[in-house]
Amino acid sequence: MEKNYFLLEDKKKEIESKFLIKNGWLKIYENDSKDFDDSAGIYCCLISNDKVEKYSKDYNWPLSMGSEGKPSVYGDNSYKSNDEEGLEPFLLYKSFSLQETSIKYIDVAEEFVLYFRLYEKGNDKQNRTFYYVSDYGELDEVLTIEPKLIKVKIKYLKEYITMRDMNFVVCYDFMRLFKNIPSDWNIKHKDELIKENDFIYNHLIRNVSDKTQSWVMGKVFIKPNEIKKSHFDFGESKNESFIIGIDDEGELIYEDCGETDGNHFKVTYFKKEVLNKYYNEPIKYQVDGFSVDSKFFTLKIDNNVDEYIPVFLTNLRMLPELEQLHWKQYNIPPKEGMNISRTYYRTMIEGQWAEQPETVDLFFKSKYKSFNKKWKDKFGWELYKPLSKTDEYLFTALHKITSNNVKAFCEQALTIVKLTIDRLNEKELAKGLDLDTKVRGIAKFEIFLKSKGMNIPDMFEFLRNLQNLRSGLIAHTFSESNKDCKKALDYFEIKNDNYAKVLEEIFVKSVFTFNTLEKHFELNEEKPSG
């Protein structure tokens, strides 16, 4: 044991820092006892403003662990929520001696949990985390409980004690014993009280039996903020300004999306990349031709233009502030010829539902659904089996890519394979056919169509090459050692700079497949009534 360690210099630094640890966290409970000769304990409580002076005069703990005084019943059967007015526990040590076992754990004051409506998550009582849930479902850690350590995020604690006109007190007790103190340490017995503005402790050095004891016991005071401000203070909602034009000097014209002069049809434009955030999290967000939806907001957009996203300026005020900031970074100036799509105009302005989306990805999705329905109406079964619940996000997240990114290309091409080739209803396709058990997938589909008088080699060349792309996919790139994959790369003429163009071609040829099947089987013809 080193001299400074024996003198508890490491613990004194913690006291001076008010037990603040990394990233704004405060240590409020700790059991760091290594053994009888090296023990450390931290606990805490709340003290009202009018009681601070009383409890800052000495180093003793206002309450002890396991004897928090909440609630209290006196001899005359009088009841108090707390043993002493102005003194409250923040943590509550609980122990139960059951016949078969003993259980010990620490709870946090329910008042604190209720104030922030904290969400609790954990494996057991000794391993829990409490979260603050934002207005749109994001979690922020507030308090964590572990068997030997409890910490709280200081900004939440400070708000709580401020609103309650209370002070937070961290109580500590550190002790170390050493049997043979080296003479050159020059250790002298002492009983010293150290008092500063925010902490007080007693440092005692004395002989205990055949050992020398170094013992620090005291309190750290964490004061409330001077100004009361809570997370309930919503204030005025802040809206961002977006580009609505260019003036005669060539300068960009910005306008606050929350303010309007009565013109609700001012348009601002965004890069298509603005949607990647939502496509990448299909569990949280839904994107279609006319909106971005989540549990927490809906934004009407025009997703029917290939090169950009038009949005009516006033629609953006429906977004939370952070979401507005996301869109702002993708905001672009208008150019000649930019406008909302015909589809969006007919649907959102004229109130007429457009028959077909204008972008190839949205058109594919619309056609996929309508084709499968028409096929079922004709044959009594769907050509493409429905996705499982866990895979439904694939359809939602399917989209055109906005850059020549191989990873994005692979993900979207793979999704098209999963929606079409992988979902072929092979059981129904095989009915009435004398097939070898080895015949599967595309080959089974081709035999089925030939049995119906349909022989289109070009269509199956496309499908097989699309399947071969998938078979040669390795970690978001393609294996050129795979002969079938190499053949597919040549078929689609895939290069490093044309992934977006090739994906669009795959969408188009997939739609052509649906159209070809519709025409051959006369799926668009209405059934005669009666």
Under 8 Å between Cβ of 110 and 117: no
Residue from 503, 303, 270 nearest 408 by CA: 503
Give yes or no for residue 154 having a pLDDT over 70. yes
Give yes or no for residue 422 having a pLDDT over 80. yes
Give yes or no for residue 46 having a pLDDT over 50. yes
Residue spans of the domains in the chain: they are 3-222, 241-349, 360-520
Under 8 Å between Cβ of 287 and 279: yes
Q: What is the mean pLDDT of residues 100-112?
A: 95
Under 8 Å between Cβ of 244 and 266: yes
Give yes or no for residue 415 having a pLDDT over 90. yes
More confident site: 428 or 138? 428
Helices (H), 17-175: 52-55, 110-116, 154-164
Backbone Cα Rg of the chain: 35
Encode pLDDT of 1-35 as tens digits.
799 999 999 999 999 999 998 899 999 999 988 88
Phi-psi label, residue 476: left if phi above 0, alpha if psi -120 to 50, beta otherwise: left
Helices (H), 56-192: 110-116, 154-164
- pLDDT value of position 529: 46
Give yes or no for residue 530 having a pLDDT over 50. no
Give yes or no for residue 203 having a pLDDT over 90. yes
* Single-letter amino acid code for the residue at 331: N
User: Confidence band (pLDDT; 50, 70, 90) for 234?
Assistant: low
Give yes or no for residue 510 having a pLDDT over 70. yes
Cα 417 to Cα 120, 305, 456, 472, 485, distances in angstroms? 41, 25, 19, 13, 14
Residue from 438, 420, 418 nearest 430 by CA: 438
